[in-house]
Amino acid sequence: MSGGGGCCGELYSCVFDYSTPRIALIKSRKVGLLNRVIQLVILAYVIGWVFVWEKGYQEFDTVISSVTSKVKGVAATNTSELGFRVWDVADYIIPPQEENAFFVMTNLILTPNQTQRQCPEVRVQTGRCVAYNETVKTCEVDAWCPVENDLTVPKPAFLGSAENFTVLIKNNIWYPKFNFSKRNILPNISTEYLKSCIYDRVNNPFCPIFRLGSLVEEAGESFQDMALLVCAEDHIVSKNALQ
Ligand SMILES: *[C@@H]1O[C@H](CO)[C@@H](O)[C@H](O)[C@H]1NC(C)=O
Ligand SMILES: *[C@@H]1O[C@H](CO)[C@@H](O)[C@H](O)[C@H]1NC(C)=O
Ligand SMILES: *[C@@H]1O[C@H](CO)[C@@H](O)[C@H](O)[C@H]1NC(C)=O
Ligand SMILES: *[C@@H]1O[C@H](CO)[C@@H](O)[C@H](O)[C@H]1NC(C)=O
Ligand SMILES: *[C@@H]1O[C@H](CO)[C@@H](O)[C@H](O)[C@H]1NC(C)=O
Ligand SMILES: *[C@@H]1O[C@H](CO)[C@@H](O)[C@H](O)[C@H]1NC(C)=O
């Protein structure tokens, strides 16, 4: 037959032949044992690693979460510089809106009646000196005068009563892939309950309103100590003061 016939022969056998693998039974303990060990290893891999350890049967999705907070509380102070003053949310929450955070002012250094002019620096310096007070002279600077004096921080903290302020924390989470959402305000919590409750580990474990003092205590800190801290921006003493 020619080459063309060979090709036809291959096609013929391809279509009309039937082939099956042959099963060989090997009566050997060694081979049998090896076979079982390999099967066991594969089974252990699939069950132990893929299912139990890596949880390969589970689907994953990233969470979309939003946290909003609302602080409540009013403080009153009566000082010689300011007289009687009431502080509410608009006064002590700076900035008014923050992403997943809130800032409560607990202490402040008052520098009343500042204007732009020349005045004595707050720290003692030699140089061209002007009288800072009766006993001490300091360098003269161009600044908003009088210059803020952060060497003496009000103690106890000006707004120490902020420990009794409360914050309502709302947290929603959503898994878009599973259309599953949940929030920290349980469905059975009524508006009346929300108006009066304050979180307590024992009595009100589902209340989303927290006392600032308790939050700090839970973190192992003292609110009154923390409230004292003022972000002291160090004054750069004017170097070009003349002798
Ligand atoms: C504030 O303090 C001053 C003096 O300490 C006092 O005379 C005044 O009555 C106080 N004001 C209020 C509203 O408590
Ligand atoms: C600030 O200015 C006001 C009015 O000009 C004045 O009554 C007050 O005593 C001044 N305060 C200080 C601390 O100088
Ligand atoms: C003057 O200021 C210095 C430094 O702040 C202070 O130690 C001193 O007691 C003050 N003197 C008077 C009379 O206020
Ligand atoms: C906070 O409130 C409690 C009880 O209402 C009161 O005893 C405590 O003095 C308050 N704390 C401050 C710093 O005002
Ligand atoms: C997601 O679930 C809510 C109720 O839980 C249902 O009203 C809404 O139609 C669902 N959305 C989709 C896209 O399945
Ligand atoms: C809301 O339900 C939880 C149980 O899911 C329960 O422990 C809690 O006391 C309930 N809260 C209110 C205010 O009914």
- Residues in CB range of 111: below 8 A, 6 or more apart: 144, 146, 147, 148, 149
Ligand 2 pocket check for 58: Cβ under 6 Å: no
Q: pLDDT above 70 covers what percent of the chain?
A: 89
Which ligand places an atom closest to the C-alpha of 214? 4
pLDDT (0 to 100) of residue 7? 67
Are 169 and 149 spatial neighbours (Cβ–Cβ below 8 Å)? no
The whole-angstrom separation of Cα 107 and Cα 138 is: 27
Confidence check: pLDDT of 1 > 70: no
Are 103 and 93 spatial neighbours (Cβ–Cβ below 8 Å)? yes
pLDDT (0 to 100) of residue 127? 55
- Of 188, 201, 204, the residue with max ligand 6 atoms within 8 A of its CB, to mutate for a pocket test, comes to 188
pLDDT (0 to 100) of residue 5? 52
H helices of 17-88, in order, are: 29-44
Residue nearest to atom 13 of ligand 4 (CA): 161
What are the tens digits of pLDDT across the range 172-225? 999 999 999 999 999 989 999 998 999 999 999 999 999 999 999 999 999 988
Q: Distance of CA 83 to CAs 12, 77, 152, 223, 230, Å?
A: 109, 8, 19, 25, 22
Are 48 and 54 spatial neighbours (Cβ–Cβ below 8 Å)? no
Tell me the average pLDDT of the chain.
Answer: 83
Look at the block and give the residue holding tokens 């044992």. Answer: 33
What are the tens digits of pLDDT across the range 90-124? 999 988 888 888 899 888 888 888 888 888 877 66
Give residue 163 CA to ligand 4 midpoint distance, Å. Answer: 8
Per DSSP, the three-state class of 144 is strand
Q: When comparing pLDDT for 112 and 87, which is higher?
A: 87
CB under 8 Å, gap of 24 or more: what pairs does 219-227 form? 223/160, 223/162, 223/163, 224/156, 224/157, 224/160, 224/163, 226/106, 227/106, 227/107, 227/156, 227/157, 227/159, 227/160, 227/162, 227/163
Confidence check: pLDDT of 3 > 60: no
Average pLDDT of the segment spanning 120-129: 67
DSSP 8-state code for residue 68: E
pLDDT (0 to 100) of residue 202? 92
CB-defined site of ligand 3, < 6 Å:
132-136
Among 47-56, 79-88, 158-167, 230-239, whose mean pLDDT is lowest? Answer: 230-239
Total-model pTM: 0.67
pLDDT (0 to 100) of residue 18? 86
